[in-house]
Structure 1
Amino acid sequence: MDLLSDVIAVTRTGEPRSAKIAWHAPWSHTFDPVPGAAGFQVILHGSCWLIRPDEQPLELREGDVIFMAHGQGHTLCSMPESHATGSQTVTLCGAYELDPAGAHPLLLTLPETIHLPTRLGIDLRLAVELLSSELTEPRLGTDALVPALLESLLVYILRTWFSTEDSPPGWAHALRDPVIASALHAMHSDPARPWTVATLASVAGLSRAPFARRFASKVGQPPLTYLTWWRMTIAAQLLRETTDSLAVIAEKVGYASEFAFSTAFKRQFGLSPGKYRRGPSQ
């Protein structure tokens, strides 16, 4: 799997939700904050304004996509200068539950609000159109298609954002850096391999010291620190979703013994793998 797919797989939880809503001017609706979630708004028809705390109002036009990366509250309302009672705006909204314990730093560094104007991403527009169609006219298979389309839309939103020049330094630039991308792909493709800074540098095509400096600068932590974090995140997912023994999970994430694995896991999560698997109430 590629890095973005991995990030979504370990962070997403629960079932995504969506709704298509027609608003008639004058109108205003406040969406409350939802900790541990991310959501989007798409303007399918008409226009409106996005109101956020401590931010200037943002005018949204037909086709614009807004992604609220950290579940922050916001308000959508009709155009202040519009006096046409009954004029219609149609929005498509959706929400994703996220696992705070598995939140990838890539997602944590996203801005509060991502604005993708209608001119960006034909694949994103096609995903919106398909989802809108299924919500407007449910047919055979709609219940299976809608969750799949919502998952696709999340990928398209993030892919479009990370490919724009507006995205800030950090993970967006790291993903576009072929050296860093090669090292990240190697770790994600084979987390159990006994990676060293030297072997990762070799994969990335640099010598050890320049690679280590470049990785830490772009990703925000040294290569092996990130590798340990990623291994423990995979282990946590396996503990939640499988019945694999601790020995098997340890081997899958690159540890030769249960003891070494348990020590590393407790260092990251504050409790042993066994207690983590049993849950907080056990």
Structure 2
Amino acid sequence: MSLAEPIDRPSCVDPLEDVLALVDVRSERAATLTGHGDWTLRFPAPAGAKFNSVIVGSCTIETEGLEHPLTLRAGDSFLLTRPQEFVLSTSPRTSVQSASPFFRATGGTSAEVGPVEQPVTARLVGGSFTFGRRARELLLDALPPLIHLPAHADGAAMVPHLLSRIDHEAHKGRIGANVVTEHLAVVLLIDVVRYHLAHHPDGTSWLQGLGDPVVSAALHAIHADPARRWTVRLIADATHVSRSTLAARFKAAVGQGPLEYLTRWRLELGAHRLAATDQTIATIADAVGYGSEAAFALAFKRELGTPPGSYRKEARKHDNETPESE
């Protein structure tokens, strides 16, 4: 079961909830790494995103985008949002080893590295998350490659428990396990996004726009009724500011104008319906605010690079080829 059920309902008022419903986040089994003494491990690039939490000791992480190694202490967590390799280490003097063989030896759920007769220098629990086709453009590209969630952050103390629960559900295979793990993965993502937005207000994206009260109000209005015949004046009226104020603040925070954002969001909703339902293109066009199938198809091809019918075929083909384990 997917969190992005193809049901007809009013769009969520909260833009973040709306996007999370479309990215179709799914969690994979959690795994534990225990390191003794000095060690350095290189991890392969995750298919989607990678979450790790230090529960004992400390280590450093290096990955593309970090100028210097980042020290992770007990209680700290990190989210890797890009498909790129990363290195965990307790000493820069040790040679780099591949992490994969250590996990393969135990079936992928745990690994031990370093001289076992030496004290534990770091223990981490981590999990991987995969997403639907549009997740990178909708959410992941709006986030930095790596987000550090320090131990003192709201929600940080719950991360090891959530990852352990994901692991428990995956191993037990009880009814409803997939739904539980998907929801837990969403909780982890929301905690990280909240912390990131609260402490890094710079940048331009729809996520950054949620930190500006005027832009946030505009985003909420658009997401509450995306099919409405919006104009800049109507959106400005909904946010109780002038058109010029709305346009300037929206552009500064999001990186595009409110009507440009509206167009893109309508097409994302249309793309989701194409992939997840058997509705006709004309029905979808009307549902997302287009007056005709031709207008929707023209905008869809211009923005997403392919006609709606071709997009639907490729989405179905991708879903049929995707292993159930993903």
Same fold (TM over 0.5): yes
Alignment of 1:69-148 (within 5 A): 69-79=81-91, 85-99=118-132, 101-104=134-137, 107-121=140-154, 123-133=155-165, 135=167, 143-144=177-178, 145-148=180-183
Q: Is the 8 A contact 1:42 1:64 kept in 2?
A: yes
Alignment of 1:261-272 (within 5 A): 261-272=296-307
Q: Is the 8 A contact 2:29 2:166 kept in 1?
A: no
Cα RMSD (Å) of the superposition? 2.7
State the shift of 1:106 in Å. 5.2
In 1: Cα distance, 2:166 partner to 2:49 partner: 22
Q: Structure 2 vs 1, CA of residues 30 and 170 (structure 1 numbering), >3 Å: closer, same or farther?
A: same
In 2: Cα distance, 1:192 partner to 1:273 partner: 18
Instruction: State the SS of the aligned residue for 2:34.
Output: strand
Ranges in structure 2 where 5+ consecutive residues have no aligned partner: 1-11, 94-113, 319-326
State the shift of 1:208 in Å. 1.1
State the shift of 1:99 in Å. 4.2
State the shift of 1:128 in Å. 3.3
How many residues matched? 278
How big is each residue's C-alpha offset from its partner over 1:222-275, in whole Å with a ceiling of 9 and x where there is no partner?
Answer: 111110000001100000001111121111100121111111111112222112
In 2: Cα distance, 1:34 partner to 1:173 partner: 25
Amino acid in the other structure paired with 2:61:
L
State the shift of 1:101 in Å. 3.9
1:163 partnered with 2:198: yes
Ranges in structure 1 where 5+ consecutive residues have no aligned partner: none
With a CA cutoff of 8 Å and minimum separation of 6, indicate the structure with the bigger relative contact order.
Answer: 2
In 2: Cα distance, 1:79 partner to 1:136 partner: 32
Identical columns (%): 34
User: Is 143-152 or 243-252 further displaced after alignment?
Assistant: 143-152
How big is each residue's C-alpha offset from its partner over 1:111-162, in whole Å with a ceiling of 9 and x where there is no partner?
Answer: 22111110001x3422531432553696556834333212221122112221
Q: Is the 8 A contact 2:54 2:122 kept in 1?
A: yes
In 2: Cα distance, 1:260 partner to 1:47 partner: 56
In 2: Cα distance, 1:207 partner to 1:174 partner: 17
In 2: Cα distance, 1:170 partner to 1:276 partner: 28
Provide the residue aligned with 2:62 in structure 1. 51
Provide the residue aligned with 2:76 in structure 1. 64
1:204 partnered with 2:236: no
In 1: Cα distance, 2:285 partner to 2:249 partner: 29
Which of 53, 67, 80 is the equivalent residue of 1:42? 53
User: Is 258-267 or 142-151 further displaced after alignment?
Assistant: 142-151
State the shift of 1:197 in Å. 0.5
TM-score under structure 1 normalisation? 0.87
1:252 partnered with 2:264: no
In 2: Cα distance, 1:226 partner to 1:191 partner: 11
